[in-house]
Structure 1
């Protein structure tokens, strides 16, 4: 939870695994409408799974796991501490997470942790906290492993001399704004209520990891120091190294840096487990949400329980698969819901079992509720089918094989091994889980569901209305009202910390320049260009069929057309309905998705190489033969309208949608960048509109195919020719988007969208730049943006987050579309600092570079640090595919990334400063603020910019009206 751009999630041991690459003989593609060939069985897939490792333990208790993977010259350094929010006593909620933030503030021999690591090419450098653990991750070039281990060991053994009251106060502010940012979202208070409903006061899993505002405010420097000494000893740690390293190399380095750190106190185990409620309970919350959300919740067993794997598959069958029971019955069947889900979120000692339904607008809530409970009861009573179990298992294993590509980070192989050791005493726990999963029978799943889902349920419903509860008072222990306030205790002296031994950071060894995968090119008989990068690390293929369309194409149609048409593709073809499409993907271990951005529309797929031929046949049917049946279109249309309401209820999305139009006006890029258009146009679309858009835009002469994975061009082209046989360009000319259309003149102004009672203000500012995405030589601008706001260590984030503590994260970006680029700044800030935050943003932009030129540290970080980070940027097939597509879209050569290091090394501070001077000034910046007007308005009086106030859209509206002051 240190970096806001990284999703914080506890990765189960079964969510990543390993396989040896192999390519079976391609199976012939079936004729349209025929049965698919048999896919590889779960047992065949699991049989190849393996993450070999070596393990050793130092005398001080530090457990070390080493996994060797030579595919890239990088090493994931993953450190797990056995301390999380479940270890927090009364009055200290949120403390484990607050301490995680402090752990990045430097140690006795390292004033900063992020700066040297990111300068050495680490990406990501991050940490997170959840109920069971706190972890820290960095993936570094092999030449920086020594430095990473030095830094991890220095803060493990010598942190306290660097922990100050000032650092505590600043990070406290950051965490409180992180809490406000989460609370400010639609349905943002649900997590608090679920914990309160499932567990009694004092249960270790009852309170959310973010904790309560009161407890965060009460944290003292003495508390911080005691937390460190009680929990952060090496005997409470699992350290995992995964990547281009072996145990013989790693052990001397580990001994050198960690061997002298003394053992810490033994952390007593926490007593916790699932709770069976005395009777079923229900709770209703009102919130500013687009539709009613119904949930059914149970606490379940921890990850070492024999039922854990069966429950995971059972909940997937209920609501996790695209062809789940809830989807088939309530979204596609009776059409009572716009979205459903079910999952088992499994932790060390308990799991949260949840089924969720978003009621379709206009549907009686009681009717939806009765049908919801009926589907759950029927699965429990009858059990799943053999086919359902196989599909759920195959999908899970296929996703797990994809996880093999990443060595470090929050969900890579290093984390899988570390979690197996930490929670189960076995780094190979994932193998046991996968083997058990592959052997599951329907009766096993049914028995687990009957044991756990027939117990009393906690039903939490969130319904549209004004929010009546506040996250400011939620997240604590739960009995605060009955507790008397303890008398204030004098703060301990800050001088009683023993000095640490002096240690010198090791140098970073040079690295070789990036070796980007070779890109091969071919052309199909119908003229579609094909690009392939062969990578054999895992037996999977990433595939993209993209079209020169995107949301900008909606200027030639109705707003929202492109996104709705793409979403409807998977809802049925002339030979398959939506359920059959979903089921066949699951049997094959494939994942077909449609997506778009402002320039491109795409159908993408992740597929197991042994099943590539039938997977391509299925994708081709989706692309070439959509049925656009009226019932299917109406269903997806309602889902898109609900998504539009959700976007208007979310502060960040609403701000961006508003800014898009303010910046670009009637230009094609004035369409909302989420593709949802507006409510009036979206509601008017019918099957004929979608057929016309499909015929106009999804045509071979606007298409490109990009493939990355375990296949050769000789094998690939025949499969593509077979899949897309008979697909020829139409005789009509291809449509053209007017990307050279005139743009509105830049205007410096602030537009406030009044959203009463918002705990935060969401600021989004932007300006169109006088360059296009295809402009050559924009690397200095990219580096200048990295200095200003493009990374965690940027000036904007350093000022508003790290120094002032007013925000959880502030970022800037320069867009890279085909047409005009734009500068964007995003800053969620605490409401009472809205005006001061705007002033700080503008001041940072004004002073760069004139009064504040690029420093040597910044120059090294954005050039040499970026160069060192490149090998880690292309670990996955998907990341390589995205890079190839970006090169094509912007007319860059295939070897662009290989030459980028040389380009960066030739750029000095003057070039970066000139780019900042020319493009990153605040002149003409249009700023949108979504927040509470009564709090914001007094702060904007002296800003010196025109201010316009509008009402935020009411639920169901598509825009905002306003007047300028």
Structure 2
């Protein structure tokens, strides 16, 4: 169900590589590296990091068989409620594929004692992390709620476990089948989107539990009667087939009382024995070539291997990381950085309960011989399989894995999922410790032996080459006039009354401290000691908007090169140094800011800061590195032109802002081919000198270490950094935005089973304006799952997997963007429906009292979980700085929101949003889409892919 609000940041993250842009004279930069920057980087032993990871728990079982795990964590007044059902797509018999995923959707549709949308009721409770997922081995549902909302959450969660089917009627089933079909279309519509079907069909024989995808067969879903679907639920979703984890502001005694009250009366169900599955071996090597509308040929190597509980699972995962998972992997070093015949590589071990898939892939550089690249890839693999990795490679993989685990467990929901997975698959909530210890102790010989056992068997070589996509099998629908098979009447059972929600206290945002480094750079700091991790962000006033109109992509290309190589470390050295430290350094941009971020175990903070300083202060910009990254950027631009989201994000900004505005460039930030081809190393040095400099920067820190200690380390790494003599970059925004020219622009993307609609307008607002009232109103109109537009296109019409309209805050002129992927044959109808919804809301049917109360309750109560982690606190610090908000901004939100009235919300929406000014970009198959607009009398203009 993974549906969330589509912000500009999310849209960009889904489609772009490293981002940002600028203007600057081509001048030489830079000083020689300091002694501190060139010193050896000493990391803490991985065993010390493993010792930091611990999730204390208690466990009990109700009389009906429900297993309950409790983890007490009082850092925030929230509780994660995570329930895992021991049933997934591997357990579906022939003719019933997709039922587990279908029920993931049906269980959000309401239950007998809480009819209507589950999400609608939960919205008022103020949850974070609210969702559900289906996979081969399980179905899970989770939400993190304020502590006073826990009882009502448990009532609702137990009601859909024990009292669901009275709300699952034929109309609900038909609607959700349509939503699932659109979810499938949305996934299939992506470049390389059909690969996984061929991979599973090839690796697993007919009848094997892992052969079919979790989303299932549309034909099976269409053929299923209501009673058949209900019986699937009766057989698999009983309390004895589930694990419930409560993690956070709760203790075992309270958990016992509440789970007995709400789950105890639910009767046991049949026992589901998870499907057994062997690890199949192909009779002989298989070679398959598929075609898709992609920019690069992708070659893959695939094997079925043992699952997560096998002793070989960790050695195989380590081998995959050494081969193509680490930034310093052998395939990266040989194919991407070495002979430069591939633009990207990847290797990974997907470990399921019973089996796994070991997959290796390489995206071949345009103009290279795919067969030759494949042969080179095979030779690199053969050497690793024959001789195994080095001790040092294995140690770097282990450190990276343990450091990542340490950070992932900061959220109570992350800890709940970790405990649930261990209990469900291994019968041991501490299974994660066994995995960590296996990573910390695995030897090169174990990795070599595991790879020899499993990767010397026949391989499935699947290639996806550019070309016309193979015929797409559209999701079928029930034949006209088909009569549904009657189902038994559900005998409803009366339950206790739904509990009320307790008072949720206002949040107390952690204290913000400030300091300055010896060179004057400001440090904004918050201490958070939930995990021994430090996060640092060095933020520069640049971003996409810094790009010149005649040099699009220059700034982002410069940023891409920062973490590639420095004057003291080559690309491999830089990657290996991060891996040894368990540190992550990333350089990227938003529309308004360019940022170098670091996350590191605090035990390795000093050497990690040395590395971060080297990246931002001493980029190499060697001719060889510039040319290699240039080719990767050209490949990225070509790939964007095959991706519906990226196509729309490139096309819409110039239509909204005009080409001369700093915001009137493609939101992906990758720029244009001509600029990228022409840029020189001197140009990029000048770009760096203009923007990446101490007098244009602010340092943000969230750490468990005290400010004095962090400040001392920052001074050591950055305090002697001085600004270059070149002029600092300047962004120039016009006082006004060009008048809107409303229109519908159609971009032809043949063979698209779905159309991507991206619409928007420029609001009469800047990011520094107060948008709280407008955002509250828009949560009802466009931003929430229950918004008017999503309720219409997804929950009523079933034409989309989900649509969103968002106020996308930027520093200056703020855009309003509507993102709507819809089934191809309903494209024009969907645009018309969206316009109608906006007009009705803004002209006549504004915010109702019930909608206001739901939005106010959800927006205030959710604050309790919005600053649970160091990453969330860091984001708040940077957001407050960008939009000129006070440090205590978060603490003012609740009282201001509670004071809102429907009239104020209506006024804010009507003053800002004007559907008569919307510009629409539609990316889809013109032969299917254009006649629809013509039939509705809507004029469209066709433009090429930008």
Give the TM interval when normalised to the shorter protein.
over 0.9
CA contact (8 A) 2:535 2:701 kept: yes
* Whole-angstrom distance in 2 between the partners of 1:278 and 1:318: 25
Query: Which blocks of at least 5 consecutive residues in structure 2 are unaligned?
Result: 11-32
CA contact (8 A) 1:180 1:471 kept: no
Displacement after TM superposition at 1:33 (Å): 6.3
In the alignment, structure 1 residue 589 sits paired with structure 2 residue 582 = yes
In the alignment, structure 1 residue 538 sits paired with structure 2 residue 540 = no
Q: In the alignment, which residue of structure 1 is the partner of 2:16?
A: none
Out of 845, 870, 873, which is 2:866 matched to? Answer: 873
* Whole-angstrom distance in 2 between the partners of 1:151 and 1:423: 26
Displacement after TM superposition at 1:508 (Å): 0.5
Out of 733, 756, 763, which is 1:762 matched to? Answer: 756
3-state SS of paired residue (1:649): coil
CA contact (8 A) 1:548 1:600 kept: yes
* Whole-angstrom distance in 2 between the partners of 1:195 and 1:205: 7
CA contact (8 A) 2:5 2:806 kept: no
CA contact (8 A) 2:87 2:274 kept: no
3-state SS of paired residue (1:782): helix
Q: In the alignment, which residue of structure 1 is the partner of 2:612?
A: 619
TM-score of the two chains, using structure 1 as the length reference: 0.93
Q: In the alignment, which residue of structure 1 is the partner of 2:675?
A: 681
Q: In the alignment, which residue of structure 2 is the partner of 1:75?
A: 79
In the alignment, structure 1 residue 3 sits paired with structure 2 residue 35 = no
* Whole-angstrom distance in 2 between the partners of 1:3 and 1:93: 22
Moved more, 632-641 or 172-181: 632-641
Displacement after TM superposition at 1:5 (Å): 6.0
CA contact (8 A) 1:787 1:858 kept: yes
* Whole-angstrom distance in 1 between the partners of 2:705 and 2:372: 50
* Whole-angstrom distance in 1 between the partners of 2:57 and 2:365: 49
Displacement after TM superposition at 1:944 (Å): 5.5
Q: In the alignment, which residue of structure 1 is the partner of 2:793?
A: 800
Out of 459, 462, 468, which is 2:461 matched to? Answer: 459
Alignment of 1:190-229 (within 5 A): 190-229=195-234
3-state SS of paired residue (1:77): strand
Alignment of 1:298-697 (within 5 A): 298-408=303-413, 412-472=414-474, 491-555=484-548, 558-665=551-658, 666-697=660-691
Q: In the alignment, which residue of structure 2 is the partner of 1:962?
A: none
Alignment of 1:832-851 (within 5 A): 832-851=825-844
Displacement after TM superposition at 1:442 (Å): 1.0
Displacement after TM superposition at 1:562 (Å): 1.2
Displacement after TM superposition at 1:310 (Å): 1.2
Deviations 1:751-792 (A, max 9, x none): 0011122101110001011111112x2211111211111111
CA contact (8 A) 1:176 1:216 kept: no
Displacement after TM superposition at 1:742 (Å): 4.4
Given the superposition, is the C-alpha separation of residues 30 and 259 from structure 1 closer, same or farther in structure 2, using an over 3 Å criterion?
Answer: farther
Alignment of 1:166-185 (within 5 A): 166-185=171-190
Deviations 1:1-50 (A, max 9, x none): 2526699xxxxxxxxxxxxxxxxxxxxx9825645243111111112321
Moved more, 516-525 or 74-83: 516-525
Deviations 1:522-575 (A, max 9, x none): 122222111001001111011100100111111266100111111111121111
Q: In the alignment, which residue of structure 1 is the partner of 2:922?
A: 929
Structure number with higher relative contact order (C-alpha < 8 Å, ≥ 6 residues apart): 2
Aligned length: 918
Out of 882, 894, 913, which is 1:920 matched to? Answer: 913
Displacement after TM superposition at 1:495 (Å): 4.7
Q: In the alignment, which residue of structure 2 is the partner of 1:827?
A: 820
Displacement after TM superposition at 1:740 (Å): 2.6
Moved more, 750-759 or 915-924: 915-924
Displacement after TM superposition at 1:491 (Å): 4.7
Displacement after TM superposition at 1:490 (Å): 7.5
CA contact (8 A) 1:813 1:823 kept: yes
* Whole-angstrom distance in 1 between the partners of 2:459 and 2:417: 33
* Whole-angstrom distance in 2 between the partners of 1:731 and 1:624: 15
Out of 737, 761, 777, which is 2:731 matched to? Answer: 737
Out of 157, 167, 171, which is 1:162 matched to? Answer: 167
TM-score of the two chains, using structure 2 as the length reference: 0.95
Q: In the alignment, which residue of structure 2 is the partner of 1:101?
A: 105
* Whole-angstrom distance in 1 between the partners of 2:850 and 2:534: 40
Q: In the alignment, which residue of structure 2 is the partner of 1:19?
A: none
* Whole-angstrom distance in 1 between the partners of 2:491 and 2:848: 34
3-state SS of paired residue (2:334): helix
CA contact (8 A) 1:417 1:428 kept: yes
Alignment of 1:743-782 (within 5 A): 743-775=737-769, 777-782=770-775
Deviations 1:264-296 (A, max 9, x none): 011133121211111111111010001000110
Displacement after TM superposition at 1:219 (Å): 2.4
CA contact (8 A) 1:2 1:101 kept: no
Deviations 1:390-436 (A, max 9, x none): 0000000000000121111xxx1101101101000111100111112
CA contact (8 A) 2:227 2:488 kept: no
Q: In the alignment, which residue of structure 2 is the partner of 1:122?
A: 127
Given the superposition, is the C-alpha separation of residues 140 and 724 from structure 1 closer, same or farther in structure 2, using an over 3 Å criterion?
Answer: same
Q: In the alignment, which residue of structure 1 is the partner of 2:18?
A: none
* Whole-angstrom distance in 1 between the partners of 2:429 and 2:657: 53
Given the superposition, is the C-alpha separation of residues 2 and 321 from structure 1 closer, same or farther in structure 2, using an over 3 Å criterion?
Answer: closer
In the alignment, structure 1 residue 57 sits paired with structure 2 residue 61 = yes
Q: In the alignment, which residue of structure 1 is the partner of 2:278?
A: 273
Alignment of 1:937-948 (within 5 A): 937-941=930-934, 943=936, 945-948=938-941
Query: Which blocks of at least 5 consecutive residues in structure 1 are unaligned?
Result: 8-28, 477-484, 954-958, 960-965
3-state SS of paired residue (1:565): helix
Moved more, 490-499 or 553-562: 490-499
Q: In the alignment, which residue of structure 2 is the partner of 1:44?
A: 48
Q: In the alignment, which residue of structure 2 is the partner of 1:11?
A: none
* Whole-angstrom distance in 1 between the partners of 2:41 and 2:799: 57
* Whole-angstrom distance in 2 between the partners of 1:861 and 1:712: 40
CA contact (8 A) 1:597 1:673 kept: no
Moved more, 175-184 or 488-497: 488-497
Given the superposition, is the C-alpha separation of residues 876 and 621 from structure 1 closer, same or farther in structure 2, using an over 3 Å criterion?
Answer: same
* Whole-angstrom distance in 1 between the partners of 2:457 and 2:235: 38
Out of 797, 800, 813, which is 2:806 matched to? Answer: 813
* Whole-angstrom distance in 2 between the partners of 1:490 and 1:58: 42
Given the superposition, is the C-alpha separation of residues 654 and 98 from structure 1 closer, same or farther in structure 2, using an over 3 Å criterion?
Answer: same
Deviations 1:644-686 (A, max 9, x none): 1121111111112100111111100011111101111122212
Moved more, 423-432 or 734-743: 734-743
Deviations 1:303-330 (A, max 9, x none): 1111111111111111110001111111
3-state SS of paired residue (1:789): helix
3-state SS of paired residue (1:668): coil
Deviations 1:326-378 (A, max 9, x none): 11111111111100010101110011100110001121112211111111111
3-state SS of paired residue (1:124): strand
